[in-house]
Structure 1
Amino acid sequence: MRLTRHRRWMAPVVAAAAIGLALTACTGDIADEEAADVDCGPYEEYGTFDGAEVTIGGTILDLEADRLVESWSDFETCTGISVDYQGSSEFEAQIAVLAEGGNAPDVGIVPQPGLLQRLAVGGWLIPASEAVEANVDEWWSEDWKQYGTHDGTFYAAPLMASIKGYVWYSPADFEENGYEVPETLDELKALSEQIAADGAHKPWCVGLESGDATGWPGTDWVEDYMLRLHGADVYDQWVTHEIPFNDPQVFDAFEAVGQYLKNDKMVNGGIGDVSTQITEAFQTAGLPILDGECSLHHQASFYETFWNPEGGDENTVAPDGSVWAFLLPPVEAGGGLNVTGGGEFPVAFRDAEEVEAFRAYLSSDTWANNRVSLGGVISANKGLDPEVASSELLTQSIEILQDPETTFRFDGSDLMPGAVGADSFWKGIVAWVSGEGTQQVLNNIESSWPAS
């Protein structure tokens, strides 16, 4: 779910030459000055390979893809493994077809545990090696390990992470108008009504458009409200279908979100009326805040990247910067920290030592610190130093994920069967925002839940 720009690495002849230079660098030959500067100590445990290549696919695109590729450049130099990454916005839709046809990449970065389950059921996945599992047992919580497990078999370690419940705002706008960060959901509603009554602009700016995945930002709203209104146990029952999708508690969460997304007085600041949520890309939906045309935008921690889409730093993310964010508050002040979030899982489709060496690196604290230090993302890896993050908000996000007192729940739609979480739930949000009644939408989604 990113803007599209594909990236391919070097042609085979160039790659082979690069591998040769990399190996000499690690043995002390400084013919290539740049390679000689790499400290290969942290990579010795992965071994060295002569001419090996690992192909990898995923949904990560644009600046994030560039940073991802950079995060394993030293690993390539020191191990001799050439890593060829291709990103595609259609990865989620195509990967099962590619796997069935024997054309999947060696590694696929899967952003949904539900999709991982589907691939495991298809018999296409290679179980994770002992090295990968040992890293996960050391650096990740048991909950995160379970997201990469199916039917008792461990298939993939977590990679990056995000916290989904942030509300972005302009500190200057709040100071100028005397607005205060709300401590409860009722205070958030009162703040929204105050901004609407002031009349300068509608309080919220929202974008639900994301190609074939249009609607998913709306599911994040519902998931946040399910966790806050009804707690972790009910949330778990909902995503596992122990309670039906049209349960009254789910209805309550939709209605609470509808106070904003279905209310023309609340949305869509700087963009248009309620209907424009469906056509406004999620990547650009928060930007009216920078122009003073909107005050509030609900989106995950990864949205930090989109305040500076070209990779510059003109819009700072800080308490006194261009933008900052607070977590969607609880029902009662001091009611505990409940957050939803997401992440990715590098699954393997080819059984090879170089593939597992690469996956072991991705599951390590070394990779987590390398990637997060490049900016824009976080990880729930317990070996990650929060201070290497690219902003105060991302440092805060890492500390939230590492805090044992935090109640964390994975994105609900990502845990649900694909027919629901990546289809009827997304489509239901679109129909609902377009005017369809809450009960009818919930009934339709419930009827789409697979019988087994």
Structure 2
Amino acid sequence: MTPTSSARRRRTMLKAGAGASVAALLLAACADTDSGDGGGGGGQAAERGSYEIDCSKYDEFGDLDGTTVHVYTTIVEPEGTAHQASYEPFTECTGVQIEYEASREQEAQLPVRVRAGNPPDIAIVNQPGLLETLVRQDDAVLPAPAQVEAEVDENFSAEWKEYGTVDGTFYAAPYDANVKSFVWYSPSAFSDAGYEVPETWDELISLSEQIASAGDVKPWCVGVESGAATGWPGTDWIEDVVLRTAGPDVYDQWYQHEIPFNDPQIVEAWDTAGEILKNEDFVNAGLGGVDSIATTAWDGAGYGILDNTCWMHRAANFYQAQWPEGTEVAEDGDVWAFYLPAETTDERPTLVAGPFIAAFTDRPEVQAFQTYLASADWANAKAVATPEGGWVSANQGLDPENLATDFDRLVYETLTDEATVARYDASDLMPSQVGSGTFFTGIVNWLTGQSTQQVLDQIENTWPTS
């Protein structure tokens, strides 16, 4: 039932039985009295499959029953179901209905809607570069309220807060998080062929050459098609290689444009990536030649690993959710992933990313929902609402036992490991006309015939002058 202002529930619990589908999630209210542990977030997670949140922190926003918050995101089905399920505890607490709108074209359409005076209440913005554009050029995103900032200060490292800050003002809390430096493969296929997981970049190239020389199946399958965002998976490849060949300091200079986009060190990184991506002997397993990468949908590009038409597919942790139903993701299962190696085993550069929560209105129900999404409560509720796995957060209040899979826990350990040298996705930090514009199209042009220097010169010429 929907809670009323006179009898708002003090606690609500999200439950998912072992092996249950998201559709079978059960929301069950606990006692209609305070538990005496105050208004702090975090709740309890006594077992995998349930998470209890505290509703009292939303009392300060007043009577919200019957109000609606419109959320606009790129997170479409099937992943969208779990996100909507994770919002249900907030609705149970407050009576606020969440209107969920998802579109693969959101990144292109959001600025159009903002400029037309028709923004959503909240947008899950994938690129800090787009956030920066919406703040500086459109003056549309509202600074985060104090309650949201307090949640972020408690639950996230300073670096993650900085990514949601523009010109010294904090606007947007982190949503979820990804680790992109993974290569998916079949453990059994590797074992049967006598292949070992490579630990350096040279070993990775040597393995690719060994597979290619066998002549049966090309080593790599790759796809960068993604509707209006076509090209983005290729930018991940480039960013990972820049981290490995030029290093984190040069990487920072590159995305901040302290060195030009076409700096020789960046040219070298693209050419190094091209040793795989533009090598007809290495790609595109079961899908075509090099140019087929541009037209192969990113979300199904790795499926050849399952039918032995492909050996390796570089993709982020969230690709776990893209495997067909019934695929076992485990070290001894159908698929697993290894760290994309650096030049030496002593290095651990890691590409990370994640969206941010931008608000365009400041009604109390919107601010309350922002606060929920920045809390450990939401991170744990979302983990429970994702029984198939493929989702992680950088929220330090997340109990890893609530994560669905061993792979998710591995990703969380990577995110929180002090040895990891993490850098946020550069295309997401660049101005949006480059990061989600000419960088994307440049990848397609490069894969379909243009030279590295041509592409990088063209992208450099589009960098905004102010």
TM-score, length basis structure 2: 0.88
Instruction: State the partner residue of 1:150.
Output: 166
Q: Return the alpha-carbon distance in structure 2 between the equivalents of residues 388 and 178 of structure 1.
A: 36
Q: CA deviation at 1:301?
A: 0.5
State the alpha-carbon separation in 2 of the partners of residues 347 and 330 from structure 1.
Answer: 34
Q: Counterpart of 1:94? A: 109
Which residue does the alignment assign to 1:181?
Answer: 197
Question: How far 1:260 sits from its partner (Å)?
Answer: 0.9
Deviations 1:256-310 (A, max 9, x none): 11011111100011111112111110011000000001100011110001112xx
Aligned equivalent of 1:219? 235
- Secondary structure of residue in 2 paired with 1:19: coil
| Alignment-derived partner of residue 377 in structure 2 | 366
Q: Is the 8 A contact 1:369 1:388 kept in 2?
A: yes
2:344 to 332, 337, 357: 332
The CA deviation at 1:327 is 1.1
Distance 1:347 1:431 in 2: 32
Amino acid across the alignment from 2:155:
W
Q: Secondary structure of 1:285's match?
A: helix
Question: 1:23–1:80: 8 Å Cα contact kept in structure 2?
Answer: no
SS of 1:108's equivalent?
strand
Shift of 1:424: 1.0
Q: Is 1:355 aligned to 2:366, yes or no?
A: yes
What's the offset of the Cα at 1:421? 0.9
Aligned counterparts, 1:268-347, within 5 A: 268-308=284-324, 312=325, 314-335=326-347, 337-347=348-358
Aligned to 2:444: 430
Structure 2 CA distance for aligned equivalents of residues 96 and 38 of structure 1: 42
- TM alignment of 1:156-195, pairs within 5 A: 156-195=172-211
Count of residues in Structure 1 that have an aligned counterpart in Structure 2:
425
Specify the alignment match of 2:118 in structure 1.
Answer: 103
2:406 & 2:5 partners in 1: Cα distance? 36
> Are 2:263 and 1:247 equivalent residues in the alignment?
yes
Matches within 5 A, 1:369-384: 369-373=380-384, 374=386, 375-384=389-398
Cα distance change of structure 1 residues 149 and 317 upon mapping to structure 2, 3 Å threshold: same
SS of alignment partner, residue 292 of structure 1: coil
Task: Provide the C-alpha distance between the structure 2 equivalents of 1:246 and 1:274, rounded to a whole number of angstroms.
Answer: 23
In percent, how many aligned pairs have the same letter? 48
Instruction: Determine if the alignment matches structure 1 residue 394 to structure 2 residue 408.
Output: yes
In structure 1, runs of 5+ residues without a counterpart are 1-17, 29-33
Q: Is 1:22–1:35's contact at 8 Å kept on the other side of the alignment?
A: no
> Counterparts of 2:96 and 2:282 in 1: how far apart (Å)?
52
Candidates 446, 449, 452, aligned match of 2:463: 449
1:67 maps to 2:86: no
Secondary structure of the structure 1 residue equivalent to 2:301: coil
| Counterpart AA for 1:399 | E
Q: Could you tell me which residue of structure 2 aligns to residue 196 of structure 1?
A: 212
Matched, 1:231 2:244: no
Gap change, CA 1:25 and 1:49, over 3 Å in 2: closer
Tell me: CA distance 1:20–1:245, structure 2 relative to 1, closer, same or farther (3 Å): same
Moved more, 381-390 or 296-305: 381-390
Q: Could you tell me how far apart the structure 2 residues matched to 1:398 and 1:27 are?
A: 30
> Which of the pair is proportionally richer in helix?
1
Consecutive unaligned residues in structure 2, runs of 5 or more: 12-25, 32-51
User: How far apart in 2 are the matches of 1:25 and 1:145?
Assistant: 32
Contact 2:10-2:93 within 8 A present in 1 as well: no
Are 1:22 and 1:76, in contact at CA under 8 Å, matched by a contact in 2?
no
Q: What is the CA distance between 1:376 and its match in structure 2?
A: 2.0
Cα distance in 1, alignment partners of residues 298 and 6 from structure 2: 43
Q: CA deviation at 1:412?
A: 0.7
Q: Distance in 2 between matches of 1:27 and 1:175?
A: 53
Moved over 6 A (4+): none
Name the residue aligned to 1:133. Answer: 149
CA deviation map 1:52-79 (0-9, x unaligned) = 2111111110021110000010110111
Distance across 1 between alignment mates of 2:207 and 2:6: 60
The RMSD of aligned alpha carbons is 1.6
Amino acid at match of 1:163: V
| C-alpha contact 1:56 1:86 (8 A) present in aligned 2 | yes
Task: Give me the whole-angstrom Cα distance separating, in 1, the residues matched to 2:175 and 2:304.
Answer: 31
Q: Deviations over 1:401-440 (max 9, x none)?
A: 1122321111111111112111111111111111211111
Give secondary structure in 2 for the equivalent of 1:291: coil
Matched-pair contact (CA < 8 Å) for 2:211–2:218: yes
Q: Which residue of 2 aligns with 1:7?
A: none
CA contact (8 A) 2:186 2:336 kept: yes
- 2: CA distance, partners of 1:433 / 1:35: 48
Residue 150 of structure 1 deviates from its aligned partner by: 0.7
